Amino acid sequence: MDLLDKDLVSIQEVRSLLKTAHEAQKKLATLNQTQIDRIVKAIADAGYEHAERLAKLANEETGFGLWQDKVIKNVFGSKGIFEAIKDEKTVGILAEDRVNKTMDIGVPVGVIAGVIPSTNPTSTVMYKAQIALKGGNAIVFSPHPGAKNAILETVKVISAAAEKAGMPKGAISTITVPTMEATKELMTNRYTCLILATGGSAMVKAAYSSGTPAIGVGAGNGPAFIDKSADVHLAVKRILDSKTFDNGTICASEQSIIVEKCMEEKVTTELKVQGAYMLNTEESDQLAHFILRPNGSMNPAIVGKSVEHIAKLAGLTQVPASACVLVARESKVGHLAPYSREKLAPILALYVEDSVEAVLEKSIEILHFEGSGHTFSMHANDEELVKRFSVRIPASRILINTPGALGGIGATTNLFPALTLGCGAVGGSSSSNNIGPLDVINIKRVAYGTKELEEIRKETPSGSSCCSDQISEATLDAIVKKIMQQLI
């Protein structure tokens, strides 16, 4: 099959999948909450049952990360997500306020396009399928070509289980001939009502440029600040736990450590004790050439790879086999400073600043350059300092005393469990939420009338007229205030 034929085949496949999904979704929309929840539970149970097999399949196909950690992600993406959403009301009447005479009704958006990355392929399929179906939506997946087989197998497992639980056939499906043209068709087709985009920045931009409503996430490039008030041993442990989990493939994982000058020796000593390897200037320059490709994007050769593999690739002969993370000193931020960028691998930058204020400014600079709106980690036991940073840091998730990768997705924190992390307007995203079922439904508001026009007129301050052009500013303010009080 030549390239042109492959594109045509993939486009036609997408159109067929979407038409089937559209019909299936119309049937889903007739189901009640109990029936929907039965389907979602079946997806979670199937994902959990096959967690290890699918983790190994993803690891073998992509070469990214550790299969043991991918099992944990699959358990999180199946059972963990279900436990968080199982009691949510998403279809039919969600809430009724008899006092204010209003009612909220959940409405599915329709057919969702689910773009799946190669870094977290199987767990992301489980997660997106659950939140989509929980809202009564159908979903068609666009798999990353580098993880196609693992994604197709995951879709096969969960869709078979969901159909046995009452899901209309075709409500969960995936492209089997993935091409850029197929993904473009999926995003722009009239049957697609919403895009859930997880992947590189180019993919997310394409989703937002498609003309279809989209929820996308930008790059993660979270700094981690270790303050004087922190338990340094625990702080370093948590950062290394996070950065080594699945070899750093979760976008909320820390990308740099920032400390004051007075903390430099204490932190670097602790890093060495816990297995990090501090690169010297020559080694740092040597590795820097392998972090980015010539076009400025992350080098896939290091993504999700072990320290041993990366050291061999870069010719770093002095790195011991026991090293768990590579740490390089950095002072600059920008395109010419590779360590200031997102690195989905066990590589960290270390910034040393003269003061807490300088740490804050450097953190803001890093996030504004790359990672705006995503995640920031802080290790501190000074509550006022936490508040000071939280107010100013341009991130949607401010994580305190926890591993960034697992805290950001809600595994070690009480944030909503999710594998799509919104970055808000500052990060070019339509939402700052950890995306869940309520983000993929619309809510109709029913409101009964509670007063007549005559009543509103009676409430107007005496001596004034709604038709007069002589109303004073003070009177106008009073009218607005009264009306707003009634509406609240």
Judging by beta carbons within 10 Å of its beta carbon (0-12, 13-18, 19+), is residue 218 exposed, middle or buried? buried
| 379 Cα distance to chain centroid | 22
pLDDT at 99: 95
Which CATH superfamily groups domain 3-217+436-443?
Answer: Aldehyde Dehydrogenase; Chain A, domain 1 (3.40.605.10)
Amino acid, res. 366: I
What pLDDT score does 461 carry? 77
- Given a contact cutoff of 8 angstroms between Cβ atoms, the answer to whether 342 and 364 are in contact is no
Structure tokens at 478: 């009073």
Q: Report the chain's terminal Cα–Cα distance, integer Å.
A: 62
219 against 359, higher pLDDT: 359
Length of the chain: 488
User: Is residue 236 within 8 Å of residue 201, measured between CB atoms?
Assistant: no
Examine the pLDDT at 469 and tell me if it is beyond 60. no
- Looking at residue 432, what is its pLDDT? 94
pLDDT on residue 205: 84
Average pLDDT over residues 264-271: 98
Residue 181 has pLDDT above 90, yes or no: yes
**pLDDT tens across 357-371, in order?**
999 999 999 999 999
Read off the pTM. Answer: 0.91
| Domain limits, CATH 3.40.605.10, in the chain | 3-217+436-443
Tell me, what's the pLDDT at 113? 98
Q: How confident is the model at residue 37 (pLDDT cuts 50, 70, 90)?
A: very high
What is the pLDDT confidence band of residue 211, given thresholds at 50, 70 and 90? very high
- CA 12, distance to chain mean position in Å, is 30
Closest by Cα among 79, 92, 106 to 34: 92
Confidence (pLDDT) at 147: 97
Structure tokens at 61: 């196909």
Q: In CATH, what is the architecture of 223-417?
A: 3-Layer(aba) Sandwich (3.40)
Active site residue 251: yes
239-250 CB burial, b ≥16 within 10 A, e <16: bbbbbbbbbbbb
pLDDT of residue 474: 74
pLDDT confidence of residue 219: 84
Q: Using CA atoms, how far apart are residues 136 and 36, in angstroms rounded to an integer?
A: 7
Cα→Cα distances 231→223, 234, 244, 255, 364, Å: 18, 5, 20, 20, 23
pLDDT at 1: 58
Question: What does the pLDDT read at residue 216?
Answer: 86
Token duo for residue 188: 């722009």
Average pLDDT over residues 237-264: 97
pLDDT band at 463 (very low <50, low <70, confident <90, very high): low
Query: pLDDT class for 206, splitting at 50, 70, 90?
Result: confident
Cα distance between residue 238 and residue 226, in whole Å: 11
Distance CA 29, CA 171 (A): 11
Across the range 261-267, mean pLDDT stands at 98
pLDDT over threshold 80, residue 268: yes
For residue range 100-127, what is the model confidence (pLDDT) as tens digits? Answer: 999 999 999 999 999 999 999 999 999 9
Choice among 193, 251, 262, 324 that is catalytic: 251
Please give the pLDDT value at position 302: 95
Strands 192-197 and 347-353: what pairing? unpaired
Alpha carbons 225 and 358: distance in angstroms, whole number: 11
The Cβ of residue 265 has, within 10 Å, a number of other Cβ atoms equal to 10
How many contiguous H segments (helices) and E segments (strands) does the chain have? 18, 15
Q: How far apart are CA 453 and CA 216, in angstroms?
A: 44
- Per-residue pLDDT band for 476 (boundaries 50, 70, 90) equals confident
What is the pLDDT confidence band of residue 383, given thresholds at 50, 70 and 90?
very high
3-class state of residue 305 by DSSP: coil
Q: Where in the chain is the domain with CATH 3.40.309.10?
A: 223-417
Nearest alpha carbon to residue 462 among 452, 449, 475, 450: 475
| Mean pLDDT calculated for residue range 253-282 | 98
Q: What are phi and psi of 56, to 5 degrees?
A: -65, -40
CA pair distance 35, 162, nearest whole angstrom: 11
Residue 118's closest CA among 141, 143, 142, 140?
143
Answer positive or negative: Cα dihedral of 337, 342, 343, 346.
positive
Mean pLDDT of the chain: 94
User: Once rounded to an integer, what is the mean pLDDT over residues 162-187?
Assistant: 97
- CA–CA gap between residue 296 and residue 285 (Å, rounded): 16
pLDDT band at 288 (very low <50, low <70, confident <90, very high): very high
Q: pLDDT digit string (tens) for 289-338?
A: 999 888 888 899 999 999 999 999 999 999 999 999 999 999 999 999 99
Instruction: Give the tens place of pLDDT for each residue, 128-150.
Output: 999 999 999 999 999 999 999 99
CA separation for the pair 60, 52 (Å, rounded)? 12
Q: Token pair for residue 54?
A: 């699918």
What gap in Å lies between CA 93 and CA 105, rounded to an integer?
4
pLDDT of residue 468 exceeding 60 = no
What is the per-residue pLDDT for 470? Answer: 58
Q: Which residues contact 462 (CB under 8 A, 6 or more apart)?
A: none
